[in-house]
């Protein structure tokens, strides 16, 4: 099918590249000429695993083209995906001016009927406004311009894989024709008939994704409701972590046990510096404002937002406590991106951590496998070094602010030896407290007991397991129940299921 993509951010590029990959003819445009020039030169303007391969393959197969002319792109496709940004306004509401602008362009440049598909994250009822705008601006050409909503659920860092192996495809439509057209666009994915570029061998077996057909407004709501719920889960885990710290419990033990309940699920319960990036924070705000605009108080989400805003401050309090005097101290920061496997630093907790430390007179040296260039554009005065070991050199403290696998695998013994003071504050719970303590680090993480307590408990657990093993014959005879003897402790099997993250090279 002939497809146009308007907006070449990560959503537009992954969508365009993957749609070409599954056999469609795709033309992409963006109002930033430099971005199009980069793409025409065969480079991806963002770091996203597998994206460069997807774009290169599709281009060399002649299925993907880029143009600076929005009119040309509009005329090239029968299906137009709107993938432009919807950044937050000062009030927190989504700024829909780019969508409005694109609606005008489509309405005036189209020469044949089109299905206009909202891919950008937008507040509920935007589709209805979009339809109205297309009708008003296109009234002279008398074309049928239908509208559909098709939210994306792509996570940065795994977006290509998410596109090729979605757990659901949601389409909000107003007529059967639009549904049929969208089903045809996604047919290769729904049927699993295309091999995806992420897996070099065969793709792992997975159930076929569902295509859910809803009204446009429900479809728009599904996106905001999903991201907001994920944000709620993260904030819940973070408050739980604070509680665990006060009570001497381990948040990872608590959340992993909670996650075994299928009604809760294990994902998005990682405590740490909170959620960043350009999706969750802005979508939560926009959802709250949307609810307010129709007289619904989404206090629950406001609280999740408030909890999130405090995470960096709490972490910095810990840094100040550990360092005593922060001014003129040398602090190394590992991680700049808002999450691993991306170069995106928008609303990244790491950036806020550095900004505040620098304001207090701390000498910051930072490293990130992909995000240094983008961080430099925001914080030009920070010293950036490619080699993460250089970050540790003579440092009074080392902060872990993004959980890149590369950092976990570092030689932490070597790091200890080059630091002025072997102090690590792990804002992402990347490392194992017991191992860090054993290596001689002063080590702080989020919501996990100190190494001593953990070590003691691990010994106690071993004693409990021994005792249970010895009592097994008695228990089997039914004289005593396990819970009567020990309370409702998790079985040793459950405990061994969740191994803590351990530094690769202690």
- Catalytic positions, please? 279
Q: Of 84, 87, 85, 135, which Cα lies nearest the Cα of 110?
A: 135
CA distance 182 to 419: 56
**What DSSP string runs through 430-446?**
-S-HHHHHHTT-EEE-S
Q: Taking the complex as a whole, how short is the minimal distance between the CB of residue 233 and ligand UGA, in angstroms?
A: 7
CA distance 271 to 286: 24
Q: Taking the complex as a whole, how short is the minimal distance between the CB of residue 5 and ligand UGA, in angstroms?
A: 15
152 sits near ligand UGA (criterion: CB under 6 A): yes
Figure out which of the listed residues 30, 93, 156, 426 binds ligand UGA, where binding follows CB under 6 A: 156
Figure out which of the listed residues 12, 45, 172, 277 binds ligand UGA, where binding follows CB under 6 A: 277
161 sits near ligand UGA (criterion: CB under 6 A): no
CA distance 506 to 503: 6
Q: How far is CA 485 from CA 82, 367, 390, 474, 493, in A?
A: 62, 51, 53, 12, 18
Of 81 and 275, CB closest to ligand UGA = 275
CA distance 433 to 247: 17
166 sits near ligand UGA (criterion: CB under 6 A): no
196 sits near ligand UGA (criterion: CB under 6 A): no
Figure out which of the listed residues 82, 280, 312, 424 binds ligand UGA, where binding follows CB under 6 A: 280
Q: Taking the complex as a whole, how short is the minimal distance between the CB of residue 227 and ligand UGA, in angstroms?
A: 5
186 sits near ligand UGA (criterion: CB under 6 A): no
Q: Taking the complex as a whole, how short is the minimal distance between the CB of residue 330 and ligand UGA, in angstroms?
A: 26
Token digits of residue 172: 């909000």
423 sits near ligand UGA (criterion: CB under 6 A): no
275 sits near ligand UGA (criterion: CB under 6 A): yes
286 sits near ligand UGA (criterion: CB under 6 A): no
- Angle between helical axes of 10-21 and 51-60 (0-180°, round to 10): 50
CA distance 135 to 103: 9
Figure out which of the listed residues 66, 338, 384, 443 binds ligand UGA, where binding follows CB under 6 A: 338
Of 23 and 49, CB closest to ligand UGA = 49
> What string marks each residue from 227 to 256 as x (binds ligand UGA by CB under 6 A) or -?
x--x---x----------------------
Token digits of residue 326: 């922060």
Figure out which of the listed residues 272, 369, 388, 427 binds ligand UGA, where binding follows CB under 6 A: 272
221 sits near ligand UGA (criterion: CB under 6 A): no
Q: How far is CA 133 from CA 106, 130, 151, 156, in A?
A: 10, 5, 20, 31
Contacts of the segment 179-186: beta carbons below 8 A, 24+ positions apart: 179/213, 181/1, 181/78, 181/79, 181/115, 182/115, 182/117, 182/148, 182/150, 182/211, 183/211, 184/1, 185/1, 185/3, 185/19, 185/24, 185/79, 186/211
Q: Are 195 and 160 in contact (CB under 8 A)?
A: no
Of 230 and 316, CB closest to ligand UGA = 230
Q: Taking the complex as a whole, how short is the minimal distance between the CB of residue 230 and ligand UGA, in angstroms?
A: 6
Q: Are 238 and 308 in contact (CB under 8 A)?
A: yes
276 sits near ligand UGA (criterion: CB under 6 A): yes
Q: Are 315 and 332 in contact (CB under 8 A)?
A: no
Q: For ligand UGA, how many residues bind (rule: CB under 6 A)? A: 21
Of 231 and 424, CB closest to ligand UGA = 231
268 sits near ligand UGA (criterion: CB under 6 A): yes
Enumerate binding residues for ligand UGA (CB under 6 A): 121, 152-156, 227, 230, 234, 268-270, 272, 274-277, 279-280, 338-339
């Amino acid at each position: 099918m002939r497809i146009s993509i308007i907006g070449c951010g990560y959503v537009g590029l992954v969508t365009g590249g993957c749609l070409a990959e599954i056999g469609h003819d795709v033309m992409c445009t963006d109002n930033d000429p430099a971005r199009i020039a980069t793409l025409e030169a065969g480079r991806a303007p963002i770091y996203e695993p597998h994206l460069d391969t997807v774009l290169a393959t599709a281009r060399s197969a002649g299925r993907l083209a880029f143009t600076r002319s929005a009119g040309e792109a509009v005329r090239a496709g029968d299906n137009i995906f709107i993938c432009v940004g919807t950044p937050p306004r000062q009030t927190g509401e989504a700024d829909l001016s780019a969508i409005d602008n694109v609606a005008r362009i489509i309405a005036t440049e189209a020469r044949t009927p089109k299905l206009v598909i909202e891919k950008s994250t937008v507040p509920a009822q935007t589709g209805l406004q979009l339809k109205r705008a297309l009708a008003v601006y296109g009234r002279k050409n008398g074309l049928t311009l239908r509208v559909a909503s098709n939210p994306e659920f792509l996570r940065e860092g795994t977006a290509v894989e998410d596109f090729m192996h979605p757990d659901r495809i949601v389409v909000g439509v107003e007529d059967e024709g639009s549904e049929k057209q969208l089903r045809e666009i996604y047919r290769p994915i729904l049927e699993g008939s295309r091999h995806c570029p992420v897996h070099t061998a065969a793709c792992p077996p997975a159930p076929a994704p569902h295509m859910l057909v809803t009204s446009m407004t429900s479809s728009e709501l599904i996106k905001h409701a999903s991201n907001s719920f994920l944000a709620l889960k993260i904030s819940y885990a973070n408050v739980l972590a604070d509680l665990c710290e006060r009570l001497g419990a381990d948040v990872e033990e608590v959340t992993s046990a909670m996650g075994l309940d299928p009604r809760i699920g294990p994902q998005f319960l990682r405590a740490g510096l909170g959620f960043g990036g350009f999706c969750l924070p802005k979508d939560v705000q926009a959802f709250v404002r949307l609810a307010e605009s129709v007289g619904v108080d989404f206090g629950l989400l406001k609280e999740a937002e408030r909890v999130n805003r405090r995470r960096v401050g709490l972490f910095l309090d810990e840094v100040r406590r550990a360092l005593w005097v922060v001014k003129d101290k040398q602090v190394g920061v590992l991680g700049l991106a808002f999450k691993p496997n991306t170069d995106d630093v928008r609303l990244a907790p790491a950036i806020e951590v550095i900004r505040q430390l620098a304001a207090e007179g701390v000498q910051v040296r930072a490293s990130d496998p992909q995000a240094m260039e983008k961080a430099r554009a925001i914080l030009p005065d920070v010293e950036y070094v490619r080699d993460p070991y250089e970050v540790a050199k003579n440092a009074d403290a080392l902060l872990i602010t993004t959980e890149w696998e590369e950092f976990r695998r570092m030689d932490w013994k070597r790091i200890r030896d080059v630091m002025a003071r072997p102090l690590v504050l792990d804002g992402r719970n990347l490392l194992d407290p017991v191992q860090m303590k054993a290596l001689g680090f002063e080590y702080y993480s989020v919501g996990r007991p100190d190494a001593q307590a953990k070590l003691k408990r691990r010994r106690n657990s071993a004693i409990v397991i021994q005792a249970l093993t010895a009592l097994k014959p008695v228990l089997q005879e039914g004289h005593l129940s396990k819970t009567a003897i020990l309370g409702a402790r998790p079985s040793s099997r459950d405990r061994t299921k969740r191994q803590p993250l351990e530094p690769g090279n202690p």
